[in-house]
Amino acid sequence: MPVALATQLREGTKKSHTMAENTGFVSCFLKGVVDKSTYRKLISDLYFIYLAMEDEFSRLIQEEHPVISLIDFEELNRCQSLKEDLIFYFGENWENLLSASSSAKAYQDRIKHIAVAQPELLIGHHYTRYIGDLSGGQILRRIAKKAMNITGNDGLKFYDFEKIKDQKEFKLKYSKTLNSLPIEQKMADLIVDEANLAFKYNMDMFKELEGNLIAVIGKLFFSFLTSKSRIGSTEHP
């Protein structure tokens, strides 16, 4: 009998979501402190994460994996959008200028490992990243656009989901799909655990980015910013 995985993921990751928002990097981002050098490092790290995720999902869908093949939402894919942003920030030679941070590499390695060892666990990463992008990511887009004084959409394509016309309707469809997956409760528990681990990998990336941000804005200003209230939230609805 299918389990209510969508609800379990939402409820089971609330604490991790709050912890992620309270990292120094995200706290600064939500206050509008975003510089281009740090932001472009963020999207370059995300490119490596999504490249691994989308490659593995594509392979498993083609192989008709009994669970993963049901989560075939190409409209969520971010690699092409990230490529366009990377061209904007790094130029046409962007592929030769990128390298994954140690935390992004660890995150990428985890995705590749479970894709072979226990593919169902990829759902935890899929939910954490893509639904986060679709939900709170829209807040981050507005903040980044204003903070970096960007006109138009160039450099912010990562947050554009052009193939999704009605986000509320899509999220309902996504939740229904999760709730109808042919898995047992034991697997649902493991997927929730993996989603919390995904948050940890994201927090590790944010902590690495903090070093770059401190170098730009200064240690005292960074401490001041991270001690005050935020202007937004990225929590999944």
| Cα 43 from Cα 117, distance rounded (Å) | 28
Structure tokens at 110: 């985890």
Predicted TM-score (pTM) of the model is 0.89
Averaged pLDDT of the chain: 90
Q: Report pLDDT for 22.
A: 87
Q: DSSP code of 228?
A: S
> What is the three-class DSSP state of 121?
helix
pLDDT exceeds 90 at position 121: yes
Query: Which pLDDT belongs to residue 236?
Result: 54
Residue 43: per-residue pLDDT: 96
Angle (nearest 5°) at CA 164 between 158 and 167:
95
Lowest mean pLDDT among 45-54, 56-65, 140-149, 219-228: 219-228
Which of 91-95, 125-129, 137-141 is the least confident region? 137-141
Please report which helix (H) or strand (E) contains residue 35, including its range.
Answer: none
Please check the confidence at residue 231 and state whether its pLDDT lies above 50.
no
pLDDT (0 to 100) of residue 1:
62
Region 160-175 average pLDDT: 95
- Kindly indicate the confidence band of residue 39, based on its pLDDT and cuts at 50, 70 and 90: very high
pLDDT surpassing 80 at residue 122: yes
pLDDT at 30 over 50: yes
CA distance 125 to 112: 12
pLDDT confidence tier of residue 35, bands split at 50, 70 and 90: confident
Q: What is the three-state SS of 127-172? A: HHHHHHHHCCHHHHHHHHHHHCCCCCCCCCHHHCCCCCCCHHHHHH
| Token digits of residue 48 | 């490596």
The pLDDT value given to residue 230: 46
pLDDT (tens digit per residue) in 188-228: 999 999 999 999 999 999 999 987 666 666 655 556 656 65
> What pLDDT is attached to residue 143?
93
Q: Which two tokens stand for residue 72?
A: 């075939």
Concatenating the DSSP letter of every residue in 181-195 gives SS--HHHHHHHHHHH
Q: Are 82 and 197 in contact (CB under 8 A)?
A: no
Q: What pLDDT is recorded for position 228?
A: 52
Q: What is the mean pLDDT of residues 141-154?
A: 90
Return the higher-pLDDT residue of 215 and 115. Answer: 115
d(CA 147, CA 219): 19
**In sequence order, which ranges of 22-154 are alpha helices (DSSP H)?**
24-30, 36-62, 79-90, 102-117, 122-126, 132-134, 137-147
Could you give the domains of the chain?
Answer: 5-225 (1.20.910.10)
Residues ≥6 apart with Cβ < 8 Å to 128: 13, 195, 198, 199, 202
Is the model's pLDDT at 47 over the cut of 80?
A: yes
Return the minimum-mean-pLDDT range out of 7-11, 92-96, 149-153: 149-153
Q: Please check the confidence at residue 36 and state whether its pLDDT lies above 80.
A: yes
